[in-house]
Amino acid sequence: MKYRSAFDIIGPVMIGPSSSHTAGAARIGRVARTLFNRLPKKAVISLYGSFAKTYKGHGTDVAIVGGLLDFDTFDERIPTSLQLAEEAGMEVVFQVEDTVTEHPNTVRINLYDDQSDLEVVGISIGGGTIEITELNSFELKLSGEHPAILVVHNDQFGVISAVTQILANHEINIGHMEVSRKEKGKMALMVIEVDQKIDQEIMKEIEKLPNVTQTIRMVD
């Protein structure tokens, strides 16, 4: 694994004993909350590998729920997040899985309310660094460290170039981009990490494009 700075090794400022099991877990939970865009009524949290074996002792459980409550890694409320979630009306269910995954620190988070549901798979890769590897069965690579937009669209000619042209028109530089689709000509997901925050007006411009069905804006 390549480190960009000493902080990737030391880890972030955080509540809890482990940058992987606590800070990373909190960040995964918070990205899931951002993608869901509101407090869910129910969260089913499935833990794999090392997460499954040590989640209580290392605070992975309270960290993920803290993230779902939109707490940052250093928020002093994280140790009480299970109680705070109950008070906020969010049901939390933990499931320990014995399925072998590619990465030992893996969590699958399913969020539900009366409007919709969301499934996110994330891994904690050390030093508080994470990757979101799956979103509603779409494979992707999202770090959560940079401003990003997710564009759900029909897999049709010209959609990708139209989106990137709008970003170019507004002088927004793309740091990382990938596209995933479930089937040729069907639904696809565009993930674009950029170097600066994207205004809501730009998001509206993208939403008006033909074949674009949904956009999600993520800010760091």
Q: So where are the chain's domains? A: 6-142, 148-218
To the question of domain 6-142 being in CATH 3.30.1330.90, the answer is yes
pLDDT digits (tens, 9 = 90+) for 53-66: 877 777 899 999 99
| CATH class of the domain whose range is 148-218 | alpha beta
Two tokens at 146?
């940079």
The pLDDT of residue 83: 97
Q: pTM above 0.85?
A: no
Cα–Cα separations (whole angstroms), residue 172 to 144, 149, 195, 198:
18, 12, 7, 8
**CA proximity to 193, closest of 176, 180, 179, 206:** 176
pLDDT at 6 > cutoff 50? no
What's the pLDDT tens digit per position in 91-145? Answer: 999 999 988 777 778 999 999 999 999 999 999 887 778 999 999 988 888 877 7
